[in-house]
Amino acid sequence: MAHGKLIDSSKLNSWINNFRTNADLGFTTNSATVSLEQLENFIIEAKEKYPSSMNGFRIYFVRYSLADGGPNLENIKQAGKNLSQPSLVLVPVKNYGQLKGTGNDFVLDNPGDLYVLAFSEPDSTDPDDSTTLCPPKCG
């Protein structure tokens, strides 16, 4: 079963920047879903990968680049400018402070690596990834 995946922090920053700098594309995502099993396993693995100071998750709004070859567009819609509709990425956080929403994205020992749960990432080849966006999957 799919859980999360390791990505370089520069890739995450690119996805975030795609969202923040393209507000003119509109926000067309109505909802996002994930199976309980995948979410629980992601949390278990995040706890195993990070020391005890991981105490929260940040949820980023992102847009994936669709210009890199032939991404899987079955699970995500194209919004224009070779970018996807808005999606979500969960990132473990250390030193989370609830009062102000503070905390730092938790980078692994290999500089730049983050363990994330990326919803409907078009480059994912994992058949067990249960993350979906509506549209296109609004059942």
What are the boundaries of each domain within the chain? 5-134
| For range 63-87, the mean pLDDT | 81
**pLDDT band with cut points at 50, 70 and 90 for residue 51:** confident
Do the Cβ atoms of 66 and 87 come closer than 8 Å?
Answer: no
CA distance 89 to 102: 17
| pLDDT score of 78 more than 90 | no
Which pLDDT belongs to residue 125?
82
Identify the pLDDT of residue 31.
96
Is 32 or 109 the better-scoring residue by pLDDT? 32
Model pLDDT, residue 2: 67
% of residues, the chain, pLDDT over 90: 58
Positive or negative: CA dihedral 36, 104, 8, 54: negative
**Range 6-10, long-range pairs (CB < 8 A, 24+ positions):** 6/108, 6/113, 6/114, 6/115, 6/116, 7/113, 7/114, 7/116, 7/118, 8/112, 8/113, 8/114, 9/105, 9/107, 9/112, 9/113, 9/114, 10/112
Record the pTM. 0.90
Whole-number average pLDDT of the chain: 89
